[in-house]
Amino acid sequence: MADSTGSDAPTLKVALLGCGVVGSSVATMLVTNGDDLAARVGARLELIGIAVRRPDRPRPDVPVDPALFTADADTLVRSADIVIEVIGGIDPARELILTAMQHGASVVTANKALLAEDGPTLYAAAAEHGVDLYYEAAVAGAIPIVRPMRESLVGDDVVRVLGIVNGTTNFVLDKMDSTGAGFAETVEQAQALGYAEADPTADVEGFDAAAKAAILASLAFHTRVASADVHREGITEVTAADVQAARDMDAVVKLLAICELQRDESGVPNGVTVRVHPAMIPRSHPLASVRDAYNAVFVEASAAGELMFYGRGAGGDPTSSAVLGDVVAVARHRLAGGHGPVESAYADLPVVPMGHASTRYHISLAVADRPGVLAQVASAFADHDVSIETVRQRVLGEGDDSRASLVIVTHRAPDSALAATVEALAGLETVDEVVSWMRVEGA
């Protein structure tokens, strides 16, 4: 497309922090789509520098002048109109963003860890200096979810967010379901295909998803939520037997980020729960069909009802698409003299402990096959006010010492009551073993 902005069009100076997988794609798109971006913004976006640790390293796949690479990020951000931060981590990213804002630059970042740990500081700096802070790429890559939460749904009451927000874990669990393979084997496959890092801890232990859950909960409930507030469990303990147990009840196992509004007896919001953990969801639920390394976020709002956002949640090109969308938005604001949304934390609801969350459990028990066992098991549930939804029993042997398998699915109850029930079951003389337990969502 020809440049329709004209030769006298203004120029906005753009600084890029980081040139890894995402940064390389962002730089490429800024250069190759320069005319189109100028036409959409109404100004030329001039890439004035790319801050990297090793500026002399050859980067033949990035079509920019090698002279643009610099190790002096601090000087670079002081001379930019828009700063794009894709280096990740807490420091030096935080200081560079704050410095950029102090010198009048709007910031576009993909840094979920920093936003989840210290988002209020960044918001405050943006407000103080009259600049924008945009971060669509921080949650679920190319999927537009941050802007709908900040803008499209801001007039509604969001009551629940249920998301698959980590592609690595979704790939692993999907392959465990479709092939019957174990966890370690499937992680190795994900690493070979580039879906998992050499050290996959941040993904498989749920740290990545927890940071994203904190951001989504903050937006959904107008309340400050940090990563430390999120109950987090990873998928390292999920076994092939767990996946098969889900299959037996026509369900799949997913690592879910769940953000819920809590209400008192009169219906007034009195807190939020934010959690990340593996859970079984029925195959009939829309999230169950999210395969491979894809992400999806399912939102429930009072007026809008149920909404689902689906797409590629990671990777250079998908993430850079979200970054460039933000760049265009903040550039337009700069030309028009306006600003995008600021932090909305007016509700200031407490983040309540995981034990207050309302959940269901799938529990598998190995028990003695003799009269009275089922009654003892049922009594353990009743003692903790947990209602049983279904029970399936299978005899494992014959004779005087025969054993049986019990699979129990509960109705919703406080998570603390369910955890106490599992502990009580493990202490029964007639229960050989609590083979497994897992939360059930989406029904």
The pLDDT value given to residue 402: 79
Q: Is the pLDDT of residue 1 over 70?
A: no
The pLDDT value given to residue 316: 86
Q: Is 112 annotated as a binding residue?
A: yes
pLDDT band (50, 70, 90) for residue 103: very high
pLDDT in tens, 192-213: 988 888 899 999 999 999 999 9
Active site residues: 212
Q: Is the pLDDT of residue 142 over 70?
A: yes
Q: Which of 172, 221, 20, 193 is nearest to 110 (CA)?
A: 20
The pTM score is 0.93
- The whole-angstrom separation of Cα 218 and Cα 417 is 27
Q: Which of 110, 175, 39 is nearest to 316 (CA)?
A: 110
The pLDDT value given to residue 196: 86
The pLDDT value given to residue 399: 58
- Strand ranges for 170-236 from DSSP E: 231-232
**321 burial level (CB within 10 Å; 0-12, 13-18, 19+):** buried
- The whole-angstrom separation of Cα 194 and Cα 186 is 12
Torsion of CA 23, 28, 29, 35, to 10 degrees: 140
The pLDDT value given to residue 145: 96
Q: Is the pLDDT of residue 3 over 70?
A: no
Return the axis-axis angle of helices 183-192 and 167-179, rounded to nearest 10°.
Answer: 120
The pLDDT value given to residue 364: 94
Cα dihedral across residues 222, 225, 231, 236: positive or negative: positive
Q: Is 17 annotated as a binding residue?
A: yes
- The whole-angstrom separation of Cα 424 and Cα 377 is 9
Q: What is the average pLDDT across 76-82?
A: 98
Q: Residue 246 phi/psi, 5° resolution?
A: -65, -45
Residue 388 contacts residue 410 (beta carbons within 8 Å)? yes
Q: Is 24 annotated as a binding residue?
A: yes
Residue 149 contacts residue 214 (beta carbons within 8 Å)? no
The pLDDT value given to residue 6: 54
Give the SS3 label for residue 29: helix
pLDDT in tens, 361-386: 999 999 988 888 999 999 999 999 99
Give me the chain's average pLDDT, please. Answer: 94
> What amino acid occupies position 209?
A
Q: What is the average pLDDT across 70-77?
A: 97
Token match 């604001």: residue? Answer: 333
Residues in the chain, how many? 443
| Distance (Å) of CA 235 to CA 178, 183, 278, 382 | 17, 8, 6, 30
Q: Is the pLDDT of residue 398 over 80?
A: no
Q: Residue 272 phi/psi, 5° resolution?
A: -135, 150
- More confidently predicted of 368 and 27: 27
Domain 11-139+318-336 adopts which CATH fold? Rossmann fold (3.40.50)
Residue 45 contacts residue 38 (beta carbons within 8 Å)? yes
The pLDDT value given to residue 417: 97
The pLDDT value given to residue 4: 52
Q: Is the pLDDT of residue 389 over 60?
A: yes
- 355-440 is classed in which CATH architecture? 2-Layer Sandwich (3.30)
Token match 């949650």: residue? Answer: 139
- The whole-angstrom separation of Cα 15 and Cα 80 is 6
pLDDT band (50, 70, 90) for residue 397: low
Cα angle: 298, vertex 301, 305; to 5 degrees: 80
Q: Which of 136, 133, 124, 86 is nearest to 105 (CA)?
A: 133
Q: What is the average pLDDT across 290-309?
A: 96
pLDDT band (50, 70, 90) for residue 76: very high
Q: Is 21 annotated as a binding residue?
A: yes
- The whole-angstrom separation of Cα 254 and Cα 423 is 24
Query: Domain residues of the chain, as ranges?
Result: 11-139+318-336, 145-312, 355-440
Query: Does domain 145-312 match CATH 3.30.360.10?
Result: yes
Q: Is the pLDDT of residue 104 over 80?
A: yes
- The whole-angstrom separation of Cα 347 and Cα 152 is 18
Neighbours of 207 (CB within 10 A): 19
- The whole-angstrom separation of Cα 252 and Cα 287 is 10
pLDDT band (50, 70, 90) for residue 400: low
Check residue 258 and give left, alpha or beta (phi > 0: left; psi -120 to 50: alpha). Answer: beta
- The whole-angstrom separation of Cα 120 and Cα 36 is 34
Q: Is 13 annotated as a binding residue?
A: no
Return the axis-axis angle of helices 112-129 and 207-221, rounded to nearest 10°.
Answer: 40
Q: Is 18 annotated as a binding residue?
A: yes
Flag the least confident range among 37-41, 266-270, 315-319, 412-416.
Answer: 315-319
Q: Is the pLDDT of residue 401 over 80?
A: no
The pLDDT value given to residue 193: 87
pLDDT in tens, 235-278: 999 999 999 999 999 999 999 999 999 999 999 999 999 999 99
The pLDDT value given to residue 2: 45
